[in-house]
Amino acid sequence: MIKNLFLVILLYSQFIGHYLYADEKNIPDNPQPFSEWVMDLKKEVMEQGVSEATFDMAFKAIEPNPKIIELDRYQPEFTQSYLDYITKRVSEIRINQGKIKLMENADSLKAVADKIDVQERFIVAIWGMETNYGSYTGGYNIIQSLATLAYDMRRPTYFRTQLIEALNILEQGHVQPADFTGSWAGAMGQGQFMPSSFLVYAYDFDGDGKKDIWNNKIDVFASIANYLKQHGWKSDRTWGRQVKVPDDADALWEKVKQTEDVKNCSRALKYHSKQLTMQEWQDLGVRTIYGRDLPLVTDQNFKASMVMPMGKDGPAYLTYDNFRAILSYNCSNSYALGVSLLSDELK
Ligand SMILES: [Ca+2]
């Protein structure tokens, strides 16, 4: 019973991060007319240092976009399976393109990797997973996306904060209003940063005063690397590895399953085992995919958690701290494994 339940939960729980929160259907309309709402917002942000010129330029001809609300409410009836996700997102084409991008941008990537201390292949893998190496960044006007979602009553506080940060980004002159585009949900540029993340983690690598994650690749690479670095990345380590588990995977899971509530990124980390040392994993009969002893068994400070995204009959992965840094970028095991497996192909 327990094992079946575990399997079922795993199979149906590998949702993809961006579609997660559209579960409330009956959202009331905002009683305030949009034009009035915009005037209130203008007053608020001008008190916080956004100029009238910036605000008026940003909000010129902005109306809520019903298509964004439709996308926001969309909840797929069946979530995509891990295997479908990996097959589509870590395709042969994407792997080959990634190898080309690594070569084409070798100098910029090396400069960023040396300075920020994150391996090139992980920067390229995130770039590839987020926007197909900058070729699909979403064509939505960021102010319109965020104004639509902030005016809407589902998550007004969160999106209002993001909208105010977006106006600050314009005020600081990082990007021209015409280039200020991204996803319908407000993720911006080639690394798909939300405005609040942009202000903290985006990185002006070429020193021209602009954190340009839309059109300047070295700023894109540095911003992705800086995000990982600030979330605990260790460049002398990888993300983790696929492993062989003992024949009785259920018995193993019984011994290693988590018994405490997970606080951060729980929608992904609740499917991970406890974090154990490599010696503990070794003693439980876990081996490399080639059947050899696990690495790092002598380091008692080095811990890994196991995740089996397809249940006990599918692949098992031991994931290290760097995997958690990838999860901080997008809290989805499928996403983080996609980045990880793509990065392995780019070695
Ligand atoms: Ca720059």
Classify burial at 45, counting beta carbons within 10 Å of its beta carbon; exposed 0-12, middle 13-18, buried 19 or more: buried
pLDDT of residue 75: 64
Which chain residues have CB less than 5 Å from ligand 1, an ion? 204, 206, 208, 210, 212, 219
Distance 177 CA to ligand 1 centre (A): 17
CA-CA-CA-CA dihedral for 30, 33, 39, 43, to nearest 10: -30
Ligand 1 mean position, distance from CA 205 (Å): 5
293-346 pLDDT, tens digit per residue, is 999 888 888 999 999 999 988 999 999 999 999 999 999 999 999 999 999 999
Using the mean position of ligand 1's atoms as its centre, give its distance from the Cα of residue 92 in Å. Answer: 32
Helix or strand (DSSP H, E) at 113: helix 106-116
What integer pLDDT is reported at residue 262 of this predicted model? 87
In the reported structure, the alpha carbon of residue 191 is separated from the centroid of ligand 1 by a whole-number distance in angstroms of: 14
pTM, to two decimals: 0.90
199 CA from centroid of ligand 1 (Å): 14
pLDDT digits 0-9 by tens, 144-190: 999 999 999 999 999 999 999 999 999 999 999 999 999 999 999 99
How many Å lie between the centroid of ligand 1 and the Cα of residue 266? 35
Q: Is the pLDDT of residue 10 over 50?
A: no
- Cα 206 to ligand 1 centre (Å): 5
Percent of the chain past pLDDT 90, that is, above it, reads 84
pLDDT of residue 1: 43
How far, in Å, is the centroid of ligand 1 from the Cα of 83?
A: 38
Residue 222 pLDDT class (50, 70, 90 cuts): very high
Round to whole Å and give the CA distance between 199 and 189.
13
Q: What is the pLDDT of residue 313?
A: 87
- 229-256 pLDDT per residue, tens: 999 999 999 999 999 999 999 999 999 9
Confidence at 25, pLDDT banded by 50, 70, 90: low
Contact residues for 173 (Cβ-Cβ < 8 A; gap 6+) = 209, 210
SS3 for 144-160, per residue? HHHHHHHHCCCCHHHHH
- Name the residue with tokens 């954190």: 211
Interval between CA 173 and ligand 1 midpoint (Å): 11
